[in-house]
Chain A
Amino acid sequence: MTTISQIEKHALNIRRNLLKMIHIAGSGHPAGALGAADIMAALYLEIMNYNPKKPHDENRDILALSNGHIVPAQYAALAEIGAIAVSELWTLRQLGSRLQGHPVRTLLPFMEITSGPLGSGLSEAAGMALGIKMNGARRFVYVIVGDGELDEGNIWEGAMFTNKYALSNLIVFVMRNNIQLDGDTEDIMPLEPLSDKWRSFGWDVSEIDGHNIKSIIEAAERARAIDNQPSVIIAHTIPGKGVSFMEGDYRWHGKTPDAQELKKALEELK
């Protein structure tokens, strides 16, 4: 049992490392990744059932990261659990690296899907959850999707399918940070009333503060206990969370911190 404060410490490490990675790489998506650090830490250090030494274990829970551009947060989390070396993190986006700019399933342990083109991760995870259910196994498939990603029709095809097959072993976290590349989600393509949308698609819906480790863990526990429908946890997150000058500023969606900005950010993340 990992304590909340230990998980928070891992989340802090994830934030520090992902910023360093993006800085060294010279490109990447810091805001969304920072916003996902707490959910990543909670999933890998508490919620998910797996053996860090056995990435292909047939009983493991699965995390499918659908909004692949925030993958530095996942890579940094894999370093926290010892699945990859911290030193490998600094190879992000470089020739020959296993750490691709967007996730590739076949390259790294615990990378369960290839993603980046948005909207397909939920459907892919639904296939996994259905296969697991057909096999009569008890394993959970967790999915992280971005809110901007919900513009994609593929998501709602997947939402209908998941409901049809009552895939209660599938739990989606929506990173509700209200920004996307061109601005605010409600200006680009309104998503609200978002909870009602999911509910009308047959899902159990809860809303949480996506930076509160205890809330994240409790929401996952609650979702796991539901046995007749899929669950979505709308996690309200702050893009750039933890770095004052990045928080809530959509321009940091795809901007790389320079040396000075990195230094300033790391000073705040202590």
Chain B
Amino acid sequence: MSELKSVRQAFGRGLTLAAEKQPSIVALVPDLTNSIGFGEFAEKFPERFIQTGIAEQNIVCVASGLAHVGKTPFMGAYAAFSPGRNWEQIRTTICINDQPVKIIGSHAGLTVGPDGETHQALEDIALMRVLPNMSVFAPADAVEAEQMALVLARYNHPAYVRYPRADMPLVFDNLYKFEIGKSYRIRDGRDVVIFTTGTMLAAVLEAAELLKLKKIDAAVVHFPTIKPLDEKSIVKYARKFSRVITVEEHQIAGGFGSAVAEVLSADQPTIQLRIGVNDQFGQSAAPDELLDFYGLTAPKIAKKIKTWYNV
């Protein structure tokens, strides 16, 4: 496996780099500065760093107000609580207002690990993608996360970024260039296509290698932007492969796979296997144990795909 690197720290690095060039950038946290990767920014720009205490409703409203007077706020918290606890304030003060606030949902997914189901956000993609004006992003690794911060700093609308507590294997090199709304074909294949987002990319690539041993040649396409979704590519791949698979560290209801299904059902009806968490909460355990238990490791993903493919 390739080198593991902190996605949180990388996003925070990108935020700091963006802030060096863009004086309008401010960052807000509810008592989670280092935990979500904002420590570097806080140290470098103390006068642009806003500590709100543990108050998720207040923090997004404050961010909206800052945007109203010309600031570019990056507001970070744990995804389970923001957007978990403050969805209505995000809807009213950021989305209806179309304010350029970036909401960062750190510690998203099962890989929060031992903290347990209360802290494992598996519904945040669903919550955010239904909001008009809101865009939704999930980086796969540190390289992508850093670039995402830089690109979103110049994006003049609401955005939600989910990333994990756990370090992720590096998939991209420094030639990679993140663009909003674009999907990336990471692996070619002839038999079937796997669409994935965020933290699942590395496991999906490994699963594709395992499938190859079983004579299934899978293409892998990564979607760092969940909304606006790269619909053209989805339809194009569906036409080519006639069967698609989606993999995400999120509930299969309402998440990335659902978004893909919405596109396909309208434009290219295609049989789809949705892999994710199936209408369950998480629980306390080590991240790897959890991914295995919920069927999101490379062997489990490969097994599920093989069974489905051979039916």
Contacts and interface: CB of A to CB of B under 8 A. Distances in A.
Given A112-B68, A128-B68, A130-B66, A120 B61 contact: yes
Interface stretch (A151-159, A192-200, A250-258): A151-159
A154 B69 contact: no
Contacts of A123: 57-58, 61-62, 65, 89
Interface stretch (A80-88, A131-139, A221-229): A131-139
A46 interface: no
Contact of B61 (A104, A124, A160): A124
The prevalent SS among residues of A at the interface is helix
Most buried by B among A58, A104, A128, A132: A128
Interface in A73-98: none
B92 A116 contact: yes
Contact of A117 (B53, B64, B65, B92): B92
A157 B55 contact: yes
Contact of B62 (A106, A115, A132, A161): A161
Nearest to A153: B57
Contact of B66 (A105, A131, A157): A131
B88 interface: yes
A120 to B, nearest CB: 5
A130 B97 CA distance: 19
B70 A105 contact: no
B88 A117 contact: yes
B72 to A, nearest CB: 11
A130 B65 contact: yes
Contacts of B26: 131, 134
Nearest to B63: A127
Contacts of A116: 92
B29 to A, nearest CB: 13
A132 to B, nearest CB: 6
A135 B70 CA distance: 10
A125 interface: yes
Contact of B97 (A114, A117, A129, A154): A114
B89 A154 contact: yes
B47 to A, nearest CB: 7
Contacts, number: 103
Interface residues of A, number: 33
B69 to A, nearest CB: 4
A157 B57 contact: yes
A213 interface: no
A106 B97 CA distance: 6
Contacts of B89: 117, 120, 123, 154
Nearest to B28: A127
Interface in B23-80: 26, 47-48, 50, 52-53, 55, 57-58, 61-71, 73
A163 to B, nearest CB: 11
Interface residues of B, number: 28
B271 interface: no
Given A116-B92, A161-B55, A161-B58, A125 B65 contact: yes
A113 interface: yes
B47 A134 contact: yes
Contact of B57 (A115, A135, A154, A164): A154
A133 B165 CA distance: 34
A179 B58 CA distance: 25
A120 B93 contact: yes
Most buried by A among B50, B64, B92: B92
A158 B161 CA distance: 25
B58 A130 contact: no
B159 to A, nearest CB: 17
A126 B62 contact: yes
Given A105-B97, A158-B61, A127 B70 contact: no
Interface string A154-176: 10011011001000000000000
Contacts of B93: 113-114, 120, 124
Contacts of B47: 134
A124 B68 CA distance: 9
Nearest to A112: B68
B107 to A, nearest CB: 21
A121 B260 CA distance: 36
Most buried by B among A119, A120, A154: A120
B4 interface: no
B77 to A, nearest CB: 13
B141 interface: no
A11 to B, nearest CB: 28
B98 interface: yes
24 contacts: A58-B70, A105-B96, A105-B97, A106-B98, A113-B64, A113-B97, A116-B92, A117-B89, A120-B57, A120-B92, A122-B61, A124-B64, A124-B68, A124-B93, A125-B65, A126-B58, A127-B62, A127-B65, A127-B73, A131-B68, A131-B69, A157-B53, A158-B62, A161-B58
The 7 closest A-B pairs by CB, nearest first: A127-B65, A123-B61, A157-B58, A131-B69, A127-B62, A157-B55, A128-B65
Given A113-B68, A113-B93, 17 more contacts: A58-B70, A105-B96, A105-B97, A113-B65, A114-B96, A114-B97, A119-B57, A120-B61, A123-B62, A123-B89, A124-B64, A126-B62, A127-B63, A127-B65, A128-B68, A130-B62, A157-B52
